Chain A
Amino acid sequence: TQLLEQSPQFLSIQEGENLTVYCNSSSVFSSLQWYRQEPGEGPVLLVTVVTGGEVKKLKRLTFQFGDARKDSSLHITAAQTGDTGLYLCAGEDNNAGNMLTFGGGTRLMVKP
């Protein structure tokens, strides 16, 4: 069973600060996805990275897939209160019927 570890588990910062969330595994994934979930709702897909070393930017969010496709990071620049939520990474394993393995999540709170 593949495992994805996210760190930190909790993060509380002031509006305007920068932050980075990490997603690590000892296994190789064919793709890695990041989701954000707000209370009482389902996760919303933010981005998918598929190539080792790939970097994708979504406004103030920068996503990177590790060269070996075992890890990923999410960097938020100048965080806003609207960024508050649970951030989940999920790795896809082509050898396991394309199942997604989810990390434990990082709960981010951005204070005004």
Chain B
Amino acid sequence: KAGVTQTPRYLIKTRGQQVTLSCSPISGHRSVSWYQQTPGQGLQFLFEYFSETQRNKGNFPGRFSGRQFSNSRSEMNVSTLELGDSALYLCASSLYLAGGPYEQYFGPGTRLTVT
């Protein structure tokens, strides 16, 4: 079974621009979560989508948004980029069986550099 894929793997943007990152979950997984990882803050939760609905949201400004499509693929968008948005953005998918542990399977990430 193919793993979680993320595109693009690397991205360089300028302050003020916007960016869209894409994530394809493992086949059959309906939950997709997004995380931001930086050396200083570690892994921080952005949001989670399940069946096209945002189910959980982390403590990030409204410039960070996401969506999920009917095929479970997900995108996240960051508008008006700031230097501090430079990070590894990770997508994780989960089978999410009710009553079972919420195990997440991560993609390789998108390395975003804002200059």
Contact = CB atoms under 8 A, between A and B. Distances in A.
The SS class assigned to the B binding surface is strand
A43 B106 CA distance: 6
B103 A33 contact: yes
Interface stretch (A16-24, A55-63, A74-82, A100-108): A100-108
Interface string B29-64: 000010100000011010010000001100000000
A97 to B, nearest CB: 5
Interface of A: 30-31, 33, 35, 40-45, 48, 50, 88, 90, 92, 96-105
B103 A45 contact: yes
Interface of B: 4, 33, 35, 42-43, 45, 48, 55-56, 90, 92, 96, 101-109, 111
Contact of B101 (A31, A42, A44, A103): A31
Contact of B43 (A33, A41, A44, A88): A88
Given A41-B109, A42-B107, A98 B102 contact: yes
Nearest to A6: B42
A6 B48 CA distance: 24
A42 B102 contact: no
Nearest to A47: B103
Contacts of B103: 33, 45, 48
A41 B108 contact: yes
B63 to A, nearest CB: 21
A103 B106 CA distance: 16
B104 A45 contact: yes
B42 A42 contact: no
In the complex, which of the residues B48, B102, B106 has the most CB atoms of chain A within 10 Å of its own CB atom? Answer: B102
